Structure 1
C-alpha cells in the first residue's frame, strides 16, 4: 500500500491560539515543511481560500493540498444550511485535488477556551444525537457526490471525543461519513488507536499522527487543565517523540488497504518547539514507521 506524508501548519502557527506563531508568514511554513520532506499541507488560517490564488503558491513549493478543517454547526442549523455554508470550502478542496474534508461538529466546543478545563467537554443529549445523525448523513452524501468525502474528526473538547461517542457515531451514520483517525486525540480521550483502526478499518479515510507526552497528559487531567493549557505545556508532539506506538497502527492500516495521507498534526508553542526541527523529526520518524510497517511512501 502507498501513502503520502503531509503536515498541518499548527507546527508553525496555531489556529486555536493565533498568538502562537502569529508573526510567522505562510511562506515560512510552506518552505520549511517542504524542506523537512513533506509533500503536502493541510489548510490553516493564513492560507488564501481562493483556489486560483492558493494553487500557484502550493505549486511553487512542490506541495499538494491535503485537506482542511471545517467547523460544522449541525446541532443548530439544518443540513441544507450547512451545505450552503461549506460550499466555498468544498470548492477549494475539490479544485486543488483534495479528496477528504476534515469535518468536526463544534457546537458547544471548549477546546479554544483556555479558561475551560477539558473535564467540561460538551456531551451529546438524546435529542442531540437524533438531530446530528440525519443531518450529518445528508451533508456527507452531498460532499461525496462532489468527489470529497467527509473525514469526521473526533476531537478533545467537542461533542464527539470519547471512544464511546466515536463508536455511536460510526454505528449510526452512513458509510459516506468517513472517519479521521487522530492518534493523539484518541489517546487523550482514553482510547486505543490500534483498536480503533481495527474496529473502523473500512471507514478510515484520513489519519492524523499526533503523539502524546504521557506525563503532561497526566498532569493536564490531574490538575483539570484546558486543552490550550495542555498545548502550551507540551502535551502534544510529533510521532516518535511521545509514547504512542505507531508501527502496529500503521501495520493495521496497511493490512486494511489504507491509501491516503499520513499527516503530522502536533500543535506546540513554536517559541519552545522549533518548528523546522520538529517538522524534520516528525517526517523522518513517520517515514521510518511506515517502512517498518510495510507501507510504501510516495513523495
Structure 2
C-alpha cells in the first residue's frame, strides 16, 4: 500500500453474511484480515437468523455498548453504521433513522448510512422529492444534535445517477448531509462509476467499494446488489474511482463489500497494489 495514501480499508459486515455467522464472526474476520475499520449493520426488531446467530445484522434494540466493547476489544474502529431505511417513507423511515442516530452516537460511529428506498409506482418525482425533503429536515435536525453525518448511498432510481444524488444534496443546507458512494450500485444501474463519482465527489465522505458485472442486475435489483465479487474481478473501473478520490484528497474509508472471506482477502491484495 502506498504509504502516502490517506484512504483506509474497511470491511463492510455484509461481506461476511454468506457465512451465516453472527457479528462476532465479522469482527474476528476483520481483525484476522488485518483491517482496522469495520462497518456494522443494524435492523429494527429481530428475526430467526439474527436470534440464532446465522446473521451478523444486529438489532437496533440491542445495547450499542455491547457492540462497541466487542469492536474495541478487537482493536478495531467503526467507520460507519449501515442503517438502510427509506427516505420515501414518512413514518417507518424517519423513526428507524432516529433510532440509528442514537445507536451510532453510543457506538462511536461518525456516520449513519441510508438510501431512498424503493419508489412506489404511484409516486411522482415531485412527490418523491417533497417527501425526502420533509424526512431529511426531521432526521438532519437530530443528526446535527448528535454530531452524526447522514450519508445517502446509491441504491435506487434517484441515487444511482449524479443528477439525482445532487438534487437530494440540494434539499438541505445541513453540513451533516453527505454521500456514501457505492461503485457497484452505480454500475449495476447502467451508469459510469468514474464519471458519476467525478460529479459528486465533493460531497463524498464514505465509499463502498463494490465490483460487479452488469449482468448481475436481475429483475427488482436493477439499482443495487447486496455484495459484489472480489474487487478487481468485475467490470467496474475501481482504479479510476480511486484516482478521482485521490485527486480530491479523500481521506475517508474504503469499505469493501464483497462475498465472503476469500473474496475479501483477494480484494485487499488487489487494493493494496493500487491505493
Cα offset, 1:209, TM superposition: 0.2
Give the match for residue 99 of structure 2. 88
Q: Which has the higher contact order (CA 8 A, sep 6+)?
A: 1
In the alignment, the residues of structure 1 paired with residue 154 and residue 73 of structure 2 have an alpha-carbon distance, to the nearest angstrom, of 33
* CA shift in 2, pair 1:226/1:106, >3 Å: closer
* CA shift in 2, pair 1:124/1:162, >3 Å: farther
Cα offset, 1:155, TM superposition: 0.4
Give the match for residue 72 of structure 1. 85
What is the TM-score of this pair, normalised by structure 2?
Answer: 0.79
User: Contact 1:40 / 1:64 at 8 angstroms: preserved in 2?
Assistant: yes
Give the match for residue 2 of structure 1. 6
In the alignment, the residues of structure 1 paired with residue 96 and residue 22 of structure 2 have an alpha-carbon distance, to the nearest angstrom, of 28
Structure 2: runs of 5+ lacking an equivalent:
43-55
Q: 2:112 aligns with which of 94, 98, 101?
A: 101
Matched position secondary structure for 1:38: coil
Give the match for residue 196 of structure 1. 196
In the alignment, the residues of structure 1 paired with residue 177 and residue 12 of structure 2 have an alpha-carbon distance, to the nearest angstrom, of 22
Q: 1:60 aligns with which of 69, 73, 88?
A: 73
Cα offset, 1:137, TM superposition: 3.8
Matches within 5 A, 1:1-299: 2-13=6-17, 20-22=18-20, 24-44=21-41, 46=56, 47=58, 49-77=62-90, 82=94, 85-106=96-117, 108=119, 124-156=124-156, 160-174=159-173, 175-214=175-214, 216-217=215-216, 220=217, 225-227=219-221, 236-266=228-258, 268=259, 275-290=260-275
CA displacement 1:49-93 (0-9 Å, x = unmatched): 4232112211222211121222334434269x82x5434322332
* CA shift in 2, pair 1:257/1:138, >3 Å: farther
User: Contact 1:10 / 1:44 at 8 angstroms: preserved in 2?
Assistant: yes
Give the match for residue 294 of structure 1. none
In the alignment, the residues of structure 1 paired with residue 236 and residue 194 of structure 2 have an alpha-carbon distance, to the nearest angstrom, of 10
Structure 1: runs of 5+ lacking an equivalent:
14-19, 110-119, 269-274, 291-299
CA displacement 1:145-193 (0-9 Å, x = unmatched): 421111101204x653444422432344435320111000011112222
Cα offset, 1:257, TM superposition: 2.2
How many corresponding residue pairs?
253
CA RMSD in angstroms, aligned pairs only = 3.0
In the alignment, the residues of structure 2 paired with residue 12 and residue 134 of structure 1 have an alpha-carbon distance, to the nearest angstrom, of 35
User: Contact 1:137 / 1:177 at 8 angstroms: preserved in 2?
Assistant: no
